[in-house]
Amino acid sequence: MILPETLLQDVRYGVRMLFRNAGFTAVAVLALALGIGVNTGTFTAYKALVRRSLDARDPDTMANLTLILQSGADSFLFSYPDYEAYRDHAHSCTGLIAEHGRPAHT
């Protein structure tokens, strides 16, 4: 078998070249470690803050309603009478909940 023999020679040659250029090797390893660390931290924070699961019995069956305005823009803000109308007439849902948000200060 020639493959394991040539592979071992290639690995030895690669290690020799890395030790010959120790400065380049150190910078490359440091850059890789820094990049992997930053990506791990970013995606961990994203999963913890943005992609966290909902505190519900079956969160996969939940849906958000969006109001499409005449201008074509969408809004998640509903009036209380709109909420009551959806709650009383939405027969495709088993329930409807609302959250009272604070108005944005501009």
| Host domain of residue 36 | 3-49
Q: How far apart are CA 19 and CA 11, in angstroms?
A: 12
pLDDT tens digits for range 6-58: 999 999 999 999 999 999 999 999 999 999 999 999 999 998 888 777 777 88
Tell me the three-class secondary structure of 2-64, residue by residue: CHHHHHHHHHHHHHHHHHHCHHHHHHHHHHHHHHHHHHHHHHHHHHHHCCCCCCCCCHHHCCC
Are residue 34 and residue 77 in the same domain, yes or no?
Answer: no
Least reliable range by pLDDT among 48-52, 60-64, 78-82, 100-104: 100-104
Same domain, 33 and 74: no
